[in-house]
Chains A and B, each alone.
Chain A
């Protein structure tokens, strides 16, 4: 994580219209008075603490921060943030947040969603928010299971998953949310893990600074219905071999002693994992999150094995500048006023062919 949040136009453009807090803020300022009702041991607690802990760093007036969620366990999130918030309906949070963000550029708008909410019922809204590049920060809690409805397979569950609704194993091929987001023209795509507070916070920092839609997939453990789903990424020993930490400008190496690396297969152009040797060391791919082309970021997202999660990259896959929808909409309004003057209702109503009747 070599990137700093203030590089480029980041912080300045993404949050420049949002008023700053007057005094110093602390984590406590962002805790609402509501009792948190997730299951004990749920990964959501860690994400909530990380977000509440990170918010003071932004230094924004908290009345100008809004959390919008859909339906699902993670979507209870807004109730626990002492900001403005809306717990809406299943899958629609990106659409609702789009209307809010485009009409109120002085707000910092966050969407909290899950794998079912964002990728099943709300899949359409997610991809369209990403392609439009509305100034939204979308936190997608992926636990690879339906929790609130008590344990059916989700669109990110591995094939063959045995659940209440799939006693003989699920048949659906899962979505890879990072691949999907990159395919949907997302300008910022990252992945992190609930239990790695430091990494999670750094990803949030970069997402907050990004002008446009930022999608952050957070691998989150559901200890009731899918416990240990990401254990391979969390267990210190296994994680060393399983997790590929992406850092912009750094060679993509991982494993014990950084002995493994990602190179481009000359025959296919695809990426593959190799054991680093003095001969191939120069070929190790240097991560470029700012590459205009999404091709390599997409290839990185395909490295992970969907069943075992081996070779799972985490960090910022892609972070590029693209025109921001709400900025452009505001620009069009300004241009219209420049071209036609501020709207004159009397003139509008009396437009076209008219005639006068005298009494």
Chain B
């Protein structure tokens, strides 16, 4: 579905918006600049789907948006319990925004557990829509409510909307030949319809989506659409919802172009396909399913018509092993995983360092150590990516900063891998992977040229005049070795994990040669061409906040708050963690204070302190969730004042 947005005043329905107006139903319409909604329910209630649909409606309407899915690792945790609560938070606005928002303005709670698990995050005055049908004595007792929070006054100060969502849904679907249980399943669509009315969302996309999703079960499709419309009509007619809201499209926030909503994992998968096209090399993915990386495997396996080969291996080691084999054969080779998988792949990454073949290692970081928090986010694999191998085994590290940026980061990781014949880490995380935001779809001619030249013939002349091929004779500028793929006559050669003689690549145990090769591999990575770090410092601040990866949104939001409050603070965000940008040392030394917020216990800060002898201060959070802007702003203010 495509809609055109040219200015904030021109809405999808064509009406000009004032501060407040009467809609067709003679209800008040209020205009807001932004809203944060959280849908919460049991993990089987379809909250992720509901959130996704509301997001798509919002994206097609032209708001800026940012999402935060949050779900348990269990597929179906025990019903009605606190650990079983699944939620989806969406922040949308008429201006550019950077985070899924700190505190929801609206909570949709499908049961007592969802209310209990989320109510503490709500500011006073927030709207709470609860499914009263689920507030039975037993369900409330299960989560420790001795009395009904809907009646005991504990929700005074909030704007409570008690709605019998289940009953209304079943009632709306009584014409359909469905059991009560089947009809009840559509209650999330009823809730979506109600919220869509409240926020004037376009509905065609959801109806089209439902028809396509249930194409083989047209009755179920129609029942869901009926529930969705019933929810909309309920909002329109019932007295309880006296006001609806408009959030104008964020036309000014976006440069001209065609946009879509995209999650980090989807953007990353598209980035890999784009890199394959730009390099004119077939894409090979060797992978083993692991949360939260599996969606990349799923996505790439759907695009075989791009020549993409996906190999679901017997384990993590075989996933990267097969990828390395494909790299030897001339593919753009990738393995996707999360932290525990990286641990298993370490030895093969070391082999790739030694073989000097291009290979992308995509780590969608999650809470650790060990199994940790599979569905929650963390940035604690940085030092594993940097150092988690035996021997001196330097690997370049690239990190995307937002969901849409995963596309560009994948292209950048591929550029480094192909140009320098090296494995490269792409460090995304669970927040970027599942979160989404609008993405300006690039024109193909904007994409970088990643063309590679395979070795074609001899590259060295021996003293006796013989022309030979030396697999470890390096490009003097990049220090990359030639990539000679099997099938090329005359370039037959053997490579391996044993130390190689410089040039010939033959086995060598010579001490001086090993020293030289270790230093040369390091020099190759140190010498990778990466752009200088850009610093945003409009006021000549004394404090720099330095981040990497998915903290970009919350840090930038916090910096805006501080500046709006008259504070001076400089901001810089690293895409390249190895090697660091050439000007990083000069940048961090320029400021009195350097604050490094990270979702770990200070891993980037450790690197900065070690490399530049700068007293960088860590600000850390490892609770499986992204930073909140307000919390970061407070911490930064303390640093500025301290």
Contacts and interface: CB of A to CB of B under 8 A. Distances in A.
Interface of A: 19, 32, 34, 61-66, 68, 71, 78-79, 81-89, 92, 95-104, 106-107, 124-125, 128, 329, 332-333, 335-337, 339-343, 345-346, 348-359
B328 A100 contact: yes
Given A61-B487, A351-B260, A355-B258, 9 more contacts: A65-B486, A79-B494, A84-B486, A84-B493, A85-B495, A87-B496, A99-B286, A352-B56, A358-B4
Contact of A336 (B305, B329, B444): B305
Of listed A65, A98, A342, residue having the most chain B CB within 10 A: A98
A68 B494 CA distance: 9
B318 A92 contact: yes
B488 A87 contact: no
Contacts of B315: 124
A87 B495 contact: yes
Given A98-B325, A107-B486, A350-B260, A343 B303 contact: yes
Given A98-B311, A339-B305, A84 B444 contact: no
Given A342-B305, A357-B259, A63 B322 contact: no
Interface string B474-516: 0000000000001111111111111000000011000000000
Contact of B259 (A101, A124, A336, A355): A355
A128 B315 CA distance: 10
Contacts of B259: 354-357
Nearest to A93: B321
What is the predominant secondary structure among interface residues of chain B facing chain A? mixed
Interface residues of B, number: 77
B326 A359 contact: no
Interface string B246-273: 0000010011111111000000001001
B59 interface: yes
B81 interface: no
B50 to A, nearest CB: 16
A99 B304 contact: no
Contacts of A346: 443-444
B227 interface: no
B324 interface: yes
B323 interface: yes
Contact of B260 (A83, A104, A335, A354): A354
A89 B346 CA distance: 11
Nearest to A126: B314
A326 to B, nearest CB: 9
Interface string B133-155: 00000000000000000000000
A356 B325 contact: no
B317 A92 contact: yes
A190 to B, nearest CB: 24
Given A66-B486, A354-B441, A355-B62, A99 B256 contact: no
B333 A99 contact: yes
Contacts of A342: 305-306
A353 B494 contact: no
B489 A61 contact: yes
A62 B492 CA distance: 8
A103 B326 contact: yes
Nearest to B357: A86
Nearest to B486: A84
Contacts of B327: 99
Of listed B307, B325, B507, residue having the most chain A CB within 10 A: B325
B321 A125 contact: yes
B59 A353 contact: yes
Given A95-B313, A95-B317, A350 B258 contact: yes
Contacts of A84: 486, 492-494
A102 B255 contact: no
Nearest to A358: B6
A247 to B, nearest CB: 34
Nearest to B57: A353
B309 A102 contact: yes
Given A125-B321, A333-B309, A63 B492 contact: yes
Contacts of A86: 325, 328, 355, 494-496
Given A350-B260, A355-B2, A89 B497 contact: yes
Contacts of B258: 350, 354-357
A101 B286 CA distance: 13
A359 B255 contact: yes
Contacts of B207: none
Contacts of B4: 355-356, 358
B201 to A, nearest CB: 12
Interface in B329-365: 329-331, 333, 347-348, 350-351, 355
Contacts of A92: 317-318, 321, 347-348
Contacts of B441: 349-350, 354
Nearest to A21: B489
A130 to B, nearest CB: 11
Contact of B491 (A63, A68, A79, A102): A63
A87 B324 CA distance: 12
A85 B494 contact: yes
Contacts of B324: 88, 96, 99
Nearest to B307: A333
B325 A100 contact: yes
A87 B498 contact: yes
Given A89-B347, A343-B306, A125 B277 contact: no
Interface in B554-607: none
A356 B311 contact: no
